[in-house]
Amino acid sequence: MNRPKFTCIFANEMNVYLDYKVSSGYQEKSFYTHLRCFDRFCIEHALSTPAFTRELADEWTKKRENESNTTHYSRINGIKQFLIYLSKKGYNVFVTRDISFRQTQFQPHIYTDDEIQKYFSAVDTFDSSKNKKDKIQYPVLFRILYCCGTRINETLGIRKQDVDLDAGIIKLSETKNDCDRYIVLSDELRSLIKQYASKCFYLLNEEDYIFTLANGKRCSGDIIYEHHRMFLKKAGIPYIGNGEGPRIHDFRHTFAVNSFKQMLDTGIDMYVALPILSTYLGHKTIYATERYVRLTMSMFPYIEKQFKDKMDAVFGEANHENN
């Protein structure tokens, strides 16, 4: 695979570690995603010496607001092996403990049309004294999340070279399952991104991220979450907190539910609609798409009545996890 450059203080060791794993017969992509995430963490915390303290380890192991139990488990336990590798090479690093996997029964928030209207009114009227670019980039960023059902990390990972406004598509490269895919823009969203591009793309190189901080670096997920809570408050949408949302990731759930309903309402058979939605969302299998289907049925009884028997025959009992 094309290996983008690591840039943190451990960059050289990351490449050596990856080369070692590949030479041992492992797939590079199995380790690269976690290392890329750890690389970004080290940069955001301004590590200037090759050491990883207990305080940093505590911060690293915290479960993120938009993070599923599966992703949290995989991220922490995956990087633990790299930390052990660094420790054996003599680096002063604190090796994190294993975390156990916990199944969740969490139910996502599906935004209503009224909530969406109020939310984007808050986004569109936002202005920032810290980063003037936020005023024009947030309306684009949050509309991609809502209108295209993308994950926050893959959205923040969009580079200038990934945007094809003539064709009306955007390539997603930094994806959860390491499989590039494309999202299709509506005419309205493409027009908005064209306006955004005319104001700032001339400042960017092809490989630069299109959503940036004031210093030109890639936008931080934590900052986006902070603004999300602010937009919720301004829109009058109660924020429960403690991972209960409404979260940014719930835009993805909302997109999936509405898309599945729309396909069924236009007469597309469930067995045809499922793989279409699954592929568009970047799921490995249709089983990862099951939650959205069950959510759709629970919200629209006439759909449940029509397709419940088929769902039970295909999936059996419900499964709960973030995708």
Provide CB contacts within 8 A for 197, sequence distance 6+. Answer: 163, 165
Residue 108, pLDDT score: 81
Instruction: Identify the CA nearest to 161 among candidates 153, 151, 171, 152.
Output: 171
113-235: what fold? hpI Integrase; Chain A (1.10.443)
- Lowest mean pLDDT across 136-150, 157-171, 257-271, 288-302: 288-302
Give per-residue pLDDT as tens, 188-205.
999 999 999 999 999 999
What is the three-class DSSP state of 294?
helix
Is residue 212 within 8 A of residue 161, CB to CB? The reply is no
81 phi/psi in degrees, rounded to 5: -65, -35
Instruction: Answer with the residue of higher pLDDT: 164 or 2.
Output: 164
Which of 148-162, 169-183, 233-247 has the highest mean predicted lDDT (pLDDT)?
148-162
Q: Is the pLDDT of residue 320 over 50?
A: no
What average pLDDT does this structure show over 212-232? 92
Q: Is 23 exposed, middle or buried (0-12, 13-18, 19+ CB in 10 A)?
A: exposed
Give per-residue pLDDT as tens, 21-61.
888 877 777 688 889 899 999 999 999 999 999 999 999 99
Q: At what angle do helices 69-88 and 29-44 cross, to 10 degrees?
A: 80
What integer best gives the mean pLDDT of the chain?
Answer: 87
Distance CA 127, CA 283 (A): 35
- Kindly report the pTM of this predicted structure: 0.70
Peptide bond into 246 cis (omega under 30): yes
pLDDT band with cut points at 50, 70 and 90 for residue 101: low
Distance CA 230, CA 239 (A): 10
pLDDT band with cut points at 50, 70 and 90 for residue 294: confident
158 phi/psi in degrees, rounded to 5: -70, 130
